[in-house]
């Protein structure tokens, strides 16, 4: 309402210090400061004001305002304390409770929690959970190793994940967990080239492990 507006800047006195001249003309501190830069006087009654410290704070109007009921600012398209957004917050509360309500109000416009990762989406807080499920910057767990990666990085990670099961590099048609590939080729892969165990005795033959029975028969 008009009673709680600074008559110079026409802003609601929310979070403002209200100061007055000797004759009771009340303006917000910012307006007094810029007015005193221009002229060292009250701009209404011209009473001299050397500095802002001469002006007393009008706590009566500040406290009255705290006991006033207003609409949650997230009921608005802009913070001007008039309802504009039909889908916004319907809460009407005491000004002194406004801050704690606004912190948890589901209608406040927030950044995606992956904004640091690059998501530029903004939306009402109540839509956060829905967005997180489909945000292209979200993290998901690798189904093989269980570590979390940004979803766009999963294909790259998948090509190097040590716990992923991949076809044997020697094409024996077995699938092997990537980090155990050496163990597989050393100990069991049928396509590993073997030297004959009688090499010391003079056999120079080499053969694939899967053919060793043929060599020894």
Where on the chain is the footprint of Zn ion (CB under 5 A)? Answer: 6, 8-9, 21, 23, 25, 28, 31, 42, 44-45, 72, 74, 89, 91, 105, 112, 114, 119, 121, 135, 142, 144-145, 161, 168, 170, 172, 189, 196, 198, 203, 205
Do residues 91 and 72 touch, judged by C-beta distance below 8 A?
A: yes
| Minimum CB–partner distance for residue 145 and Zn ion (Å) | 3
- Output 63 or 123, the one with its CB closest to Zn ion: 123
Tokens 């999963």 belong to residue: 154
For the CB of residue 81, give the shortest distance to Zn ion in the complex, in Å.
12
Q: Which is nearer to Zn ion, 70 or 105 (CB)?
A: 105
Q: Min. distance of Cβ 146 from Zn ion in angstroms?
A: 7
Q: Which is nearer to Zn ion, 9 or 66 (CB)?
A: 9
Question: What number of other Cβ atoms are within 10 A of residue 109's Cβ?
Answer: 10
Q: Based on CB atoms, which residue is closest to Zn ion, 63 or 97? A: 97
d(CA 69, CA 59) in angstroms, rounded, equals 18
Q: Which CB atom, from 66 or from 181, has the smaller least distance to Zn ion?
A: 181
Residue 78 beta carbon to Zn ion: minimum distance, rounded to whole angstroms: 15
Strand 175-177 relative to strand 193-195, pairing: unpaired
The values of phi and psi at residue 24, to 5°, are 85, 20
CA gap 82, 92 in Å, rounded: 11
Each residue of 12-39: b (16+ CB within 10 Å) or e? bbbebebbbbeeebbbbeebbeebbeee
Shortest distance, CB of residue 183 to Zn ion, whole angstroms?
A: 11
Half-sphere exposure of 119 (CA within 13 A, CB side): 21
Q: How far is the CB of 94 from Zn ion (least distance, A)?
A: 13
66/110 with CB nearer Zn ion:
110
CA dihedral (202, 204, 208, 211) positive or negative:
negative
């Amino acid at each position: 309402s008009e009673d709680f507006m600074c008559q110079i800047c026409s802003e609601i006195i929310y979070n403002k210090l209200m100061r007055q001249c000797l004759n009771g003309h009340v303006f917000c501190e910012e307006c007094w400061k810029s007015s005193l830069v221009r002229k060292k006087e009250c701009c209404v009654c011209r009473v001299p004001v050397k500095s802002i410290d001469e002006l007393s704070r009008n706590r009566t109007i500040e406290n009255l305002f705290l006991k006033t009921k207003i609409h949650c600012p997230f009921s608005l398209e802009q913070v001007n304390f008039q309802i504009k957004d039909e889908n916004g917050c319907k809460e009407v509360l005491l000004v002194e409770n406004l801050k704690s309500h606004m912190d948890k109000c589901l209608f406040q416009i927030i950044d995606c929690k992956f904004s640091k990762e690059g998501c530029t989406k903004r939306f009402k807080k109540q839509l956060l959970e829905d967005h997180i499920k489909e945000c292209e910057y979200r993290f998901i767990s690798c189904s093989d190793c269980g570590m979390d990666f940004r979803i766009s990085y999963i294909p790259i990670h998948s090509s190097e994940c040590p716990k992923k099961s991949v076809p044997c590099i020697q094409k024996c048609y077995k699938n092997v967990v990537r980090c155990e590939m050496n163990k597989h080729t050393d100990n069991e892969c049928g396509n590993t080239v073997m030297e004959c165990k009688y090499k010391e005795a003079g056999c120079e033959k080499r053969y694939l492990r899967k053919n060793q029975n043929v060599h020894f028969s």
